[in-house]
Amino acid sequence: MTQEDGDLDSLVRKRLRALRVAQGWSLEELATRARLSQSSLSRIENGQRRLALDQLVTLARTLDTSLDQLVETATDDVVSSPMIDGAHGLMRWPIKGDARSSSVCRSIWIAVGH
């Protein structure tokens, strides 16, 4: 595996986790919906299990996205490290983008149900 392959692998794993969290789903819930074991899904997200194409297709469908969106290497649309602010009932997703652009949003805040 080349460095570029490893970077893509890491990016896909981060996107899978971010999409799961954005749906408000636990590992258990996504695993059930995708008909995978919770431990397999956890190992996929954490890089302890290789990314199999058949599982990626299933996960993409379950998360209402496409394989193209999971593997897109453009960094300007990458959502990373979703965080929950339980005290205020908000979830925050920092967004990476070109700092030179005046239209780049640095984070998204969404109210979450209690």
Q: Is the pTM of this model over 0.85?
A: no
pLDDT digits (tens, 9 = 90+) for 56-70: 999 999 998 888 888
* pLDDT tops 70 at residue 3: no
Instruction: Write the CB contacts of 57 (distance below 8 Å, at least 6 apart in sequence).
Output: 67
Write down the residue that tokens 């199999």 correspond to: 52
Dihedral angle sign, alpha carbons of residues 52, 1, 69, 82: positive
- Distances from the Cα of 43 to the Cα of 12, 39, 58, 91, angstroms: 13, 6, 16, 24
Average pLDDT over residues 7-12: 87
The pLDDT score that the predictor gives to residue 72 is 81
Average pLDDT of the residues of the chain: 75
Give the span between the Cα atoms of 11 and 38, in whole angstroms.
21
Strand order in the sheet with 107-111: 83-85, 90-94, 107-111
Copy the structure tokens of residue 112.
Answer: 């979450």
Biggest distance spanned by C-alpha atoms of the chain: 44
* pLDDT tops 50 at residue 81: yes
pLDDT class of 102 with cuts at 50, 70, 90: very low
